[in-house]
Amino acid sequence: MYSVANNKSNTLPDIIAADLHAKKVLSRRDFINQHTVSSPVIFHGVGVHSGKAVCMIVHPAAVDHGIIFERTDIEDQPNRIRANWQMVSTTNMCTTIINASGISVATVEHIIAALYGTGITNALITIDGPEVPIMDGCSEEFCKGILETTTVRQSKRRHTLKISTTIRVENENGWAQLSPYDKNLFSVKFTPTDRYEDLTQEQFQQFSYNEDDFTTLISRARTFGFYEDAQKLWAAGLAKGASLDNTVVIHKGAVMNEDGLRYSDELVRHKLLDAIGDMALAEYVLIGHYEACNPGHTLNYQLLKKYFDTITTS
């Protein structure tokens, strides 16, 4: 659930114009400049791993602020964490970022993907718990909330980074790479294993930041997993907030959710959503081609680390 705060008096000195749309995607030329939200957007939900209720608010922020989380339930220690790949602490089942004082926020990938997909580059995100609410398992509610308010175009261009060399990482499940390209392009292939049984067809999806609509192509694709894995996680006291309301659950090759899949290739689209959220932790629009087969949060983090380590030492 989300709501938009009635805060018409909230202005920023660097805002030069308000976009006129409410529920529409930014025009392509608007992606040249930095953007923020004009009013706080409030999200209520539960953490998929903790199962605890959480309130998260996306606030307007000034040019070059970037995306920063603030843990409002922490008062006696530094409670802000920058959404940057260097802040990543763990990538097991989700992406978690942490500051130098050990204060963390987990499952940041869906809200970061929503901000990236709707053009928001600057925001302060206050949150009263250690985990971003899972909502319905994707970025759709975040996108709706962000676009419900008026987004504002700011006076400075977005930060871009042109990929000049090919970097690749691999593990036992798949691979991911960045390579030179004249636009921002994500391409993901998903190859189901024998565990998927009926869902055996290879899936492929692309997203271009310059040309495609994230809100319709990617944002509605939900996280997914296996019923038997969920049973083990629950027994171990994990995934307490996971349910058929926020996860596509596969059991004996069949989708357990009553309404089935939202897209015939929803699984690869969610892999793409996660990749967009993880790669946005570069804090740049990457001008290049992200390409992957069966990527996960660990591969995405390793790819960013390897790329920045390479360009730093070259």
Sheet with strand 80-82: strands edge to edge: 2-4, 41-46, 53-60, 123-127, 67-71, 80-82
Kind plus residue range of the DSSP H or E element containing 209: none
Does the annotation mark 49 as catalytic? no
Residue 272: CB partners within 8 Å, gap ≥ 6?
186, 188, 205, 206, 207, 218, 221
d(Cα 154, Cα 49) in Å, to the nearest integer? 36
Contact 298, 292 (CB under 8 A): no
Nearest to 224 by CA among 271, 174, 290: 271
Task: Please identify which of the residues 49, 59, 110, 297 carries the catalytic annotation.
Answer: 297
Beta partners for 2?
A: 43
Nearest to 280 by CA among 199, 173, 161: 161
CA torsion angle for 81, 85, 90, 92 (degrees, to 10)?
A: 130
d(Cα 45, Cα 280) in Å, to the nearest integer? 23
Length of the chain: 314
- Grouping H, G, I as helix, E, B as strand and the rest as coil, residue 252 is coil
DSSP 106: B
d(Cα 302, Cα 262) in Å, to the nearest integer? 30
Q: Which two tokens stand for residue 309?
A: 């380590």
Catalytic machinery residues = 297
